[in-house]
Each structure stands twice: as structure tokens, then as C-alpha cells.
């Protein structure tokens, strides 16, 4: 399984979440975040805004769906035909284990077993 963390413009979050839902990936965590990228914030007059509001969308998908989900986020979150500074970043990392709290089920790829149950 793969965790995909997308840091995107706040005005694009709803569209990205809708595109993921339509593509069959409804499980997304959305977090309000602030930060800056390579552009080091925005300077307007004498004031520098170095903490720019963004949204972080986190989803965990099977490895076989990784490229499709990344393309969906890229295509939906990009502003304009070629994109612009500040459109965001996507971070991809492996997920070694995943547990469902209510059932205690440990999920690892296709295999799943109840934690604490006799096998």
C-alpha cells in the first residue's frame, strides 16, 4: 500500500476530493496547513507572507493504483494549462501496516487478519 500526501491550494481541495471520489477513491483525510515552498512565500509591498495557507490531502491506495491517483491529483490541482508556482507538491511513501481501529483488523496489501485473534 502507498500513502499519497498532496499539499495543494485551498481553492482546489474540493475539486481534487470530488475527482478522487468519482475515480473510486473516497477515503481521504483533509488537513488545513500553512507553509512555504521554493518561492519562500509571497512579498506584497514591504510585507512578506512566508506562511501560505494550503490543504493537505492524505490517502492510502494499493500500489497498482498509485500512478492513477497521482495523475488525478496533478490534473485536478494544477492551475492553468501549465501550472503555476504554489500549486503544491505530492509526496509518496510506502505503508508497511494499516489497522482498522474499530475491528482491530491489520491490513497489509491484500492480506488482512484480526489483531489479537487466534489464527
Is 119 a member of any domain? no
For every residue of the chain, DSSP letters joined together read: -EEEEEEE-GGGHHHHHHHHHHTT----EEEEEEE--TT-SEEETTEEE--EEEEEEEEEE-GGGHHHHHHHHHHHH--TTT--TTSEEEEEEE---EEETTTTEEEETTEEEETTS--
Is 38 a member of any domain? yes
Global pTM? Answer: 0.83
Is 20 a member of any domain? yes
Query: Which residue range forms the structural domain that includes residue 96?
Result: 2-114
Is 41 a member of any domain? yes
- How far is it, in rounded angstroms, from Cα 114 to Cα 108? 12
Is 75 a member of any domain? yes
Q: pLDDT for 68-116, tens place per residue?
A: 999 999 999 999 888 888 899 999 999 988 898 999 888 866 434 444 5
Residue 59: CATH number of its domain: 3.30.70.120
Q: Which position has the higher pLDDT, 20 or 98?
A: 20
- Domains held by the chain: number: 1
Q: Which position has the higher pLDDT, 113 or 45?
A: 45
Is 65 a member of any domain? yes
Query: What average pLDDT does the structure give for the chain?
Result: 87
Amino acid at each position: 500500500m502507498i500513502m499519497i500526501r498532496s499539499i495543494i491550494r485551498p481553492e482546489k481541495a474540493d475539486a481534487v476530493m470530488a475527482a478522487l471520489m468519482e475515480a473510486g477513491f473516497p477515503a481521504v483525510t483533509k488537513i488545513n496547513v500553512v507553509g512555504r515552498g521554493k518561492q519562500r512565500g509571497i512579498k506584497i509591498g514591504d510585507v512578506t507572507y512566508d506562511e501560505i495557507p494550503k490543504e493537505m490531502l492524505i490517502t492510502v491506495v494499493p500500489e497498482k493504483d498509485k500512478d492513477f491517483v497521482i495523475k488525478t491529483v496533478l490534473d485536478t490541482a494544477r492551475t492553468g494549462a501549465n501550472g503555476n508556482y504554489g500549486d503544491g507538491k505530492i509526496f509518496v511513501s510506502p505503508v508497511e501496516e494499516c489497522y482498522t481501529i474499530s475491528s482491530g483488523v491489520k491490513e497489509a496489501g491484500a492480506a488482512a487478519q484480526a489483531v489479537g485473534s487466534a489464527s
